[in-house]
Chain A
């Protein structure tokens, strides 16, 4: 059974069909990429998968369970974690707290523990702190625990978003243009990070990206969106060789620039 099965999802805004009958599947512990020209509907697809917009039609199955009609936070708890194209970190919380907060919905103490300052709360908070620091270490943000997220340089903010998503214990991790705005060495660092995460954890990853080297190196499968429709799919080499894809997306570039 695929980890994530997306069946014929559609979404229209006003008269414009942003996503038209889009289907794809992600296997267990797989990394796939979604590419397409600007405005093709990639982020809209993510928004549909995570429940930001309700589906007009279609289904989303996570490990066989239909999550299409659930509210956003329950979809997240079911195991769909994401990062955002325009970074959306929590201001007013420290770097560590940003990560801790993502794990908070699962924290086992309750209001009474808070009111009476119970030891259960104290222990759980300690554990949450430790766990949060672990995630920060994994993405390479060790030492930044008490900083304000706004004060971090751009590349580190992107890492924080990933750490935060990790803390939700996902089954599928959705990365929306995670390499946007990174310089070449940061991109290389990012690719290595994803490889490490893939080895260390069990979840599948879906990446939306414009930077082809990221997609090519990491994904086992690529889905190409154009005008909200699935244009092509296949392995990286298949997609790159696909004439229609080249025309729609890579068209302007000289083919010798690829790979």
Chain B
């Protein structure tokens, strides 16, 4: 593991962190794995693309990049609100068992992906080059400018999210509901508003993730399947913990870069699977996860 690999790994990890935290937010409050997040990321990647193409004529470089991010973030937030309304609201009011949320989220994800496939599949789109493909050297190590910017924006967005969660009223509400949604209701909180806010936040993060994925991998409808990285990161970090998701994501990024370097991109998924399996057997609650003991 070289330092250069470490740097690349952290950079990749920061993108995964956005995905993982967006995923973990929903898991904390509604206790299910929101697989539709993947579809959302794909859609927002395309939203960002459209914004970029339109605005390309007026601004460029860093402002264009930021404008794209904002467009995708807003688009993501709004889409998340729609998804919540369509796929999950009724389940909450019916008090449906968790299985149904699961199915609903997968279905939603597949639906979004396939809508994209119909309207956009035949062509491969890619983002206009916002930024010079230059690299910054410090000492023996290099980091590409796009990677650096993504690292910066990921960290800032996550920082803002943590600030909101811990220092604002709505953040407190979200955290409270994550503990126990029923008691929070009894205390007078409006679950619909808080859940909507959580989804919005998750959608914003998803939007930013979408753009970053689009930059890294070009645009195609299955882009959102990267959600699995978010899930894996959350599991390693510990389901139920935002900081855990962060740590897990960075670890995963570093691990992947290392594996690609040693066994090649083809075999990497196999090794990730094996490592994850071993990890789950040895420490099922993850690094920072909470052990939820079922009471009788």
Contact = CB atoms under 8 A, between A and B. Distances in A.
Interface in B77-115: none
Interface residues of B, number: 4
B293 to A, nearest CB: 7
Interface in B242-296: 293-296
Interface string A21-63: 0000000000000000000000100110010110000000000
Contacts of A46: 296
A43 B294 CA distance: 13
B41 to A, nearest CB: 36
Interface in B155-201: none
B296 to A, nearest CB: 5
Contacts of A13: 293
Nearest to B294: A52
Contacts of A53: 293
A84 interface: yes
Contact-size category for A: 10 to 19
Interface centre among B293, B294, B296, by most chain A C-beta atoms within 10 angstroms, is B296
A235 B55 CA distance: 85
A80 B268 CA distance: 48
A84 B295 CA distance: 10
Nearest to B97: A91
A158 to B, nearest CB: 16
Interface in A72-101: 84-85, 88
A76 to B, nearest CB: 12
Contacts of B294: 52
Interface string A165-177: 0000000000010
Contacts of A43: 295-296
Nearest to A53: B293
Contacts of B296: 43, 46-47, 50, 52, 84-85, 88, 176
Contacts of A88: 296
A99 to B, nearest CB: 20
Contacts of A85: 296
Nearest to A52: B296
A46 B295 CA distance: 11
A222 to B, nearest CB: 22
6 contacts: A43-B296, A46-B296, A47-B295, A47-B296, A50-B296, A176-B296
Given A13-B293, A47-B295, 13 more contacts: A43-B295, A43-B296, A46-B296, A47-B296, A50-B296, A52-B294, A52-B295, A52-B296, A53-B293, A84-B296, A85-B296, A88-B296, A176-B296
